[in-house]
Structure 1
Amino acid sequence: MIRTDPETPDLFITPVEEVFIRNHLGPAPRLDRDTWTLTVEGAVERPLRLDFPALLDLPQTRFTAVHECFGSPLRPHVPTRAVTNVEWAGAPLAAVLALAGPRPEARHVWLEGADRGDFAGESGLTYLKDLPLDQAGAEVVLAHSMNGEPLRPDHGYPVRAVAPRMFGTNSVKWLTRIVLAAERPDHLFTTRLYTRVPPGGGEARPVREKDVGSKLLTPRDGGSVPAGACELEGYAWSATEVTAVEIAVDDADWQPAELERRGPHPSWQRFRLRCDLAPGPHRVRCRATDSAGRVQPLTGDRNAVHEIGILAE
């Protein structure tokens, strides 16, 4: 199931109603918070079964982070730009792992949701993702709240994993099972889909950390604006901080935009540039650079520069 989020350039936090929804395995499971449990098993000293009150008794954290869909795993190079900025609250996975006690051979964390179904010719699937234990323990949160309210059914109620610096595919919804293991699981959504070859070639790697990206939101694509002074605005994001955004109008040179700092959370960053537009149609593009030195490609990949067309009247 796919829904596309409306664009709300004036809002730093995306309203829940406008957060995109992506489901691979059919309708969203309808779980009851009163009967929900989370099992923690595998290479642990103390297997666990936590209910919702037990999760709330753990230390809690609240943070704002970009939530971005990688796009179709069957078309991994096609730009999608389904991206929002959300406030999450929940218990750090590290607190759950401390209760369970990973054994020395544990190297990977498997996260499994309650959704079941068929995808890409395979039947009877569960939604399963895996992460390195050290990375999952440092970053993942078991979230029960979005924008100050309980998760809604389509967003993973009652509990989902949230990996703030990673694509949404790693933030497993309707979380019911965690397995610690020495090896990665061989599964459609872990080793056969959601992998890609890095720039320059080499061995395929799991889709995890977000790419550097940016999106123009004002003016809207296909819209009209008064000729003359115009303010171009949007948001940029990455797994790390974005350090620069440039904007090009028609065939003119790239111009540096004013860019807000990211702050303590992995949120998106607003950018803006004032320019003068002659009457007529215009093509506007934006590209971002992050602190790792990654730059959006002009074409050919899922995070290629965003382009809009506007008419100055």
Structure 2
Amino acid sequence: MSPQVPAPEPDFTPTDDVFVRKHLGVPDIDVADWALVVEGLVEHPLRLDMAAVLSLGTQRLAAFHECFGSPFAPDVPTRAVAQVEWAGVPLAAVLDRAVPGAGARHVWFEGADTGSFQGQDGVTYVKDLPLSVARGDVFLAHRMNGEPLRPEHGFPLRAVVPRMFGTNSVKWLTRVVLADRRPEGLFTTRLYNRVLPGESSPGPVREVDVSSKLFVPEEGAQLPSGEVELSGRAWSTTEVVSVEVSVDGGPWETAAVAPPGAGPTWQRFSLVRELAAGRHSIRCRARDLAGRVQPLAGARNAVHEVGVEVGGDGLKRRPG
């Protein structure tokens, strides 16, 4: 077990710095004309405008948010990750009003984004989850970091699925369908599937991998020689129990790791290290409570590495 540092308040990524992904463009939605439809195997189909959504109350969810990357290159690291404070309502509050039928096993999430993708026309972005998972984990967000959702982040309402890759957090949400089966579609059964270690057949891309990323210093940073704080963030589906840092391919050194927060948030790690003048490479790897460790190479969550230049010129360092 690595040494721990006190758990800070959740550090949120400025909205301007949160990554944006869109397969079918950003739809132009007038909230006055928008509604969330809940239908399928439910006893009480719903049509909720924004006033009805807001009447359910507003809760907050602090959570890390990670992009899986290209579905055509599932083993290539993207390292696109952020931490966001969402405001909205758990999907369970909506499902309780709709009352799922006895045969409902899956929940389909449909966005307003439609268009052409990979030579296929008339595509709508649809994802799905087992009902048991959707009822417990899915959050319907209408605010992000204290402000209304921006169009590129899913205005006026989006799904947020903690501890799962961002591809499952459908933006511009317009329709929730309860069904007895998974939907056949481009983004459900054709793309965003992978074979996990120890398994023989592909399954949908859902739960995140154990991962970590160096935030300070950044790639190409110029630093003064002497003691430098190496810091970053680590995350997984469960608690990250240790993070190690290696300089120039040397032995792995144990970093201090903040304990997990109250929700699905990332954990800060840091290590103070003496760096001599010259070029250095710095790597980090995390281990989680389930025993998973970041691989050195060949996977989308392979260890992160940055290169820095250290000199004796007193160049300014940024705090971690």
TM-score by length of 1: 0.95
Aligned residue identity for 2:21: R
- For these two proteins, the number of residue pairs brought into alignment is 302
1:60/1:92 contact within 8 Å kept: no
- Structure-2 residue corresponding to 1:46: 44
Aligned residue identity for 2:13: T
- Structure-1 residue corresponding to 2:296: 298
Aligned residue identity for 2:116: D
Structure 1 position 18 matched with structure 2 position 17: yes
Structure 1 position 310 matched with structure 2 position 308: yes
- Structure-1 residue corresponding to 2:6: none
- Structure-2 residue corresponding to 1:226: 224
The answer to which of 106-115 and 256-265 deviates more is 256-265
- Structure-1 residue corresponding to 2:281: 283
- Take 2:241 and 2:46, find their aligned partners in 1: how far apart are those partners? 43
Deviations 1:223-281 (A, max 9, x none): 11111211101111112221110000012110110111121111111110011112111
Higher RCO (CA < 8 A, seq sep 6+): 2
Aligned residue identity for 1:194: Y
Structure 1 position 118 matched with structure 2 position 116: yes
Output the aligned Cα RMSD.
Answer: 1.0
Structure 1 position 67 matched with structure 2 position 65: yes
- Structure-2 residue corresponding to 1:7: none
Q: Where does structure 1 lack aligned partners over 5 or more consecutive residues?
A: 1-10
- Take 1:99 and 1:312, find their aligned partners in 2: how far apart are those partners? 60
- Take 1:87 and 1:103, find their aligned partners in 2: how far apart are those partners? 33
1:162/1:172 contact within 8 Å kept: yes
- Take 1:290 and 1:61, find their aligned partners in 2: how far apart are those partners? 28
Report deviation, 1:310: 0.8
Report deviation, 1:201: 3.8
Give 1:29-178 correspondences, 5 Å limit. Answer: 29-178=27-176
Report deviation, 1:164: 1.2
Report deviation, 1:311: 1.2
Give 1:227-306 correspondences, 5 Å limit. Answer: 227-306=225-304
For 1:189, which of 177, 187, 190 is the aligned residue?
Answer: 187
1:16/1:147 contact within 8 Å kept: yes
Aligned residue identity for 2:247: V
Report deviation, 1:192: 0.8
Report deviation, 1:60: 2.7
Aligned residues with identical type, % of pairs: 60
- Take 1:141 and 1:232, find their aligned partners in 2: how far apart are those partners? 34
Deviations 1:282-312 (A, max 9, x none): 1110001111111111000100000011111
- Structure-2 residue corresponding to 1:6: none
Deviations 1:184-214 (A, max 9, x none): 0010101111110011341101111111111
1:59/1:92 contact within 8 Å kept: no
Deviations 1:80-105 (A, max 9, x none): 00100000011110011011111111
- Take 1:271 and 1:168, find their aligned partners in 2: how far apart are those partners? 23
Report deviation, 1:70: 0.4
- Take 2:16 and 2:227, find their aligned partners in 1: how far apart are those partners? 33
* SS across alignment from 2:187: helix
Aligned residue identity for 2:250: A
* SS across alignment from 2:136: helix
* SS across alignment from 1:22: coil
The answer to which of 259-268 and 11-20 deviates more is 11-20
* SS across alignment from 1:21: coil
Report deviation, 1:68: 0.7
1:215/1:306 contact within 8 Å kept: yes
- Structure 1 segments of 4 or more deviating over 3 A? none
